Amino acid sequence: MRRGILFVFALPLVLAGFVLAAPAALAQNAHLISASASLNSDGSLTASFKEAGLGANQNIDYALTAQGTATWVCVNKGGGNPSATNKTTVNGPVSATGTFNSGKNGNVTASLTVQPPPSDITCPKGQNLQLASASYTGVTLADTTNGPSVSLGNFASGCLLPDVRGAC
């Protein structure tokens, strides 16, 4: 009789332990299959990636981080950057985050995009603020739910405004 009572109380606890451990066990093999990054024509940086071994229908959080540098200029109607005071270079951390579902196959294929650091200047009337160049160092993509991460390197745009006098 004692053995039967112990079994009746212990079985639900053991089953609950299996149920609670199952999500962790499903994601124990999480790994990035591929990841790459490239600069866009607007100076932003996009990282595309595929991760597998996540378990079915799991929400996975990702972060794309880097140190960003951007040079901003004021461009007049004549297509030039009129003076050095209308140019500024700003630095700072940049990041993008996203949550993606692993679907029935336990995979995520997605992209995240970071923007260059914002300008700290205001252009005079008749001039437009434009991004002359952008660079990103220490670009890293991380699965912040399960831990895998990858360093994607450093990226620099070169001059984004080749036709603007004095921009670069």
Phi, psi of 26 (to 5 degrees): -65, -35
Whole-number pLDDT of residue 141: 98
Query: Which pLDDT score is estimated for 166?
Result: 81
What is the pTM for the complete model shown?
0.79
Q: What pLDDT shows up at residue 61? A: 98
For the domain spanning 29-156, the CATH number is: 2.60.40
Mean pLDDT per 10-residue segment, the chain (168 residues): 48 45 57 95 97 94 98 88 78 98 94 96 91 97 95 96 86
